[in-house]
Amino acid sequence: MKALGRHILLELYDCDSEILNDQERVEQIMKDAAQAARATIVNSVFHRFNPHGVSGVVVIAESHLAIHTWPEYGYAAVDLFTCGEEIDPWVAHHYVAEHLRARKKTSLEMKRGLLSVPVLKHKP
Amino acid sequence: MKALGRHILLELYDCDSEILNDQERVEQIMKDAAQAARATIVNSVFHRFNPHGVSGVVVIAESHLAIHTWPEYGYAAVDLFTCGEEIDPWVAHHYVAEHLRARKKTSLEMKRGLLSVPVLKHKP
């Protein structure tokens, strides 16, 4: 049985709270992570909350990368969802964890779209 | 131990392929799902792929809703990530599954941001 996508749910604890609260830096880190994984960026949306926290998504041709930060807890929830065999979500995983300076993390990879029919090659 | 967020990973099979390939309808369904769950929409980004498939994310004040469709397989991968106690991601779950006319689905709720410290009330 073949999966269409790979989805890493990444929990980052004890990050640098200053970075987590900086919309511009968080956005740059997520975009750089996409590029490090050789994904093609289609669009992105980021938002800073009052009094603190950043949410954002990078839509890639191969699915999406999302982040929500809670600077007051030093925590970030990160989702790295990719499809196709060209790119590796674990490259983005390592990039984000390192650049948010997470001292503790848990990661879980889920397979998405488990099909019992052969998967065509042309779909990213 | 308190969780900051709730994240439903929803796999929709045997959906209406015509809807899955219609960017405008998919976007409207995802926005309506957010509103049905009483979420506050911050922004959204949707994209239609060639030859088929739609990807999109609705960023909400309470996290995000994301979708990727494979009309050729009648399949959609949906993520419903919410935080705060005001809104219920399962309302969005039922709305999306019904409106994409999924005949088969699997759902999994993950807790995100498990903290050992008391969670403040003011953060959405």
Each residue's pLDDT expressed in tens, for chain A with a length of 124 residues: 789 999 999 999 999 999 999 999 999 999 999 999 999 999 999 999 988 999 999 999 999 999 999 999 999 999 999 999 889 999 999 999 999 999 999 999 999 999 876 666 554 4
Can you tell me the distance from the alpha carbon of A56 to that of A68, in angstroms, rounded to the nearest whole number?
7
Question: What three-state secondary structure class fits B6?
Answer: strand
Residues of chain B above pLDDT 90, percent: 86
**Residue A54: C-alpha distances to residues A44, B58, B95, B124 (Å):** 13, 15, 27, 12
Chain A contact for B117 (CB, 8 A cutoff): yes
Binning chain B into helix, strand and coil, the percentages to the nearest 5 are: 25, 45, 30
**CB pair distance less than 8 Å for B68 and A63:** yes
Kindly state the average pLDDT of the residues B12-32: 98
Chain B contact for A81 (CB, 8 A cutoff): yes
pLDDT band for position B121 (cuts 50, 70, 90): low
Residue A121: its pLDDT value, please? 54
**CB pair distance less than 8 Å for B66 and A61:** no
| Per-residue model confidence as pLDDT tens digits over B47-100 | 999 889 999 999 999 999 999 999 999 999 999 999 998 899 999 999 999 999
Q: Which residues of A touch B66 (CB under 8 A)?
A: 57, 64, 66, 79, 81
Q: To the nearest whole angstrom, how far is the Cα of B55 from the nearest Cα of chain A?
A: 7
ipTM: 0.91
